[in-house]
């Protein structure tokens, strides 16, 4: 039910586009026509700068903060694209690369976040002493898995990733390690019962539904760890681990 409600909400990418279109027709276009009517001629970059600044300010009220930067530079990139006569294949190639890296941003509203270098050693302070199975949901480039797999050779480390290019990089990093592997696919379809530790660094959007999945599938005594993003639907975490570089923190629940 939670996933159904989430699916009915407009995607951030759609909201961002609507903001740009609204600002253009309600502000940028009328002001530009006013300048023309007064006998002047608006410069494309001035119009793009105004469009981007206002769109970023509006987006701060309806979208996560990191969208402000994208909204600010989008009009400028459009103007550059119109002024610089590049082959359409260049823009197609750029789009394909962005899609390969950030496919999750459109479908699951989960951009590519990279866990910092202090995450593996901080996780080590709570990992079981005996051999265990560790899962990284949305493992990105596989850095956490690779470092933990080297440190705990008798335990097993798995990740799942649905963005093609990060998955390929993670798969290549883990392919020579006998105690690690990376799956390509939908994390919602992966059962969690066989893992003693589940780690994720996603975004606020899927966390309530993911918590419901963890409660339904993880066995008692298992650890569920969320990097940076707390879960409003969950009780207070059993531990909050601060990272030395002041990113994070890691929220830890014992199921």
**What fold characterizes domain 119-254?**
Rossmann fold (3.40.50)
β-pair partners for 158? 135, 181
Tokens describing residue 14? 């759609």
Q: What is the pLDDT of residues 56-107, one digit of tens each?
A: 999 888 877 767 888 898 888 888 877 777 666 666 666 665 655 555 555 5
Per-residue b or e along 176-200, where b marks 16 or more CB atoms closer than 10 Å to that residue's CB = eeebbbbbeeebeebebeebbbbbb
pTM, 2 dp: 0.66
Integer Cα distance of 176 and 185 in angstroms:
21
DSSP state of 1: -
The predicted-structure confidence for 199-253, as pLDDT tens digits, reads as follows 999 888 788 999 999 999 999 999 999 998 999 889 999 999 998 887 779 999 9
Q: Where are the domains of the chain?
A: 2-85, 119-254
Give me the half-sphere count of Cα atoms (radius 13 Å) on the Cβ side of residue 109: 21
- What residues form DSSP beta bridges with 184? 161
Q: How many residues does the chain have?
A: 255
């Amino acid at each position: 039910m939670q996933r159904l409600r989430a699916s009915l909400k407009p995607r951030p990418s759609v909201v961002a586009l609507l903001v740009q279109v609204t600002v253009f027709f309600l502000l940028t276009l009328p002001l530009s026509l006013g300048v023309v009517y007064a006998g002047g001629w608006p410069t494309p970059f001035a119009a793009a700068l105004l469009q981007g600044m206002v769109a970023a300010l509006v987006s701060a009220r309806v979208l996560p903060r990191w969208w402000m930067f994208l909204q600010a530079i989008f009009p400028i990139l459009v103007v550059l694209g119109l002024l610089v006569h590049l082959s359409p294949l260049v823009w197609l190639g750029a789009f394909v690369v962005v899609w390969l890296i950030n496919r999750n941003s459109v479908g699951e509203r989960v951009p590519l976040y990279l866990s910092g270098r202090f995450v593996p050693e901080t996780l080590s302070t709570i990992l079981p002493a005996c051999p265990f199975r560790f899962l990284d949901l949305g493992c990105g480039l596989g850095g956490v898995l690779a470092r933990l797999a080297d440190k705990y050779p008798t335990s097993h480390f798995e990740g799942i990733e649905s963005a093609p290019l990060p998955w390929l990089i993670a798969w290549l990093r883990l392919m020579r390690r006998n105690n690690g592997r990376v799956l390509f696919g939908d994390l919602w379809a992966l059962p969690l019962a066989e893992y003693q530790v589940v780690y994720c660094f996603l975004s606020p959007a899927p966390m309530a539904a993911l918590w419901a999945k963890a409660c339904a599938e993880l066995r008692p005594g298992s650890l569920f760890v969320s990097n940076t993003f707390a879960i409003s639907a969950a009780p207070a975490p059993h531990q909050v681990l601060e990272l030395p570089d002041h990113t994070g923190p890691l929220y830890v629940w014992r199921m």
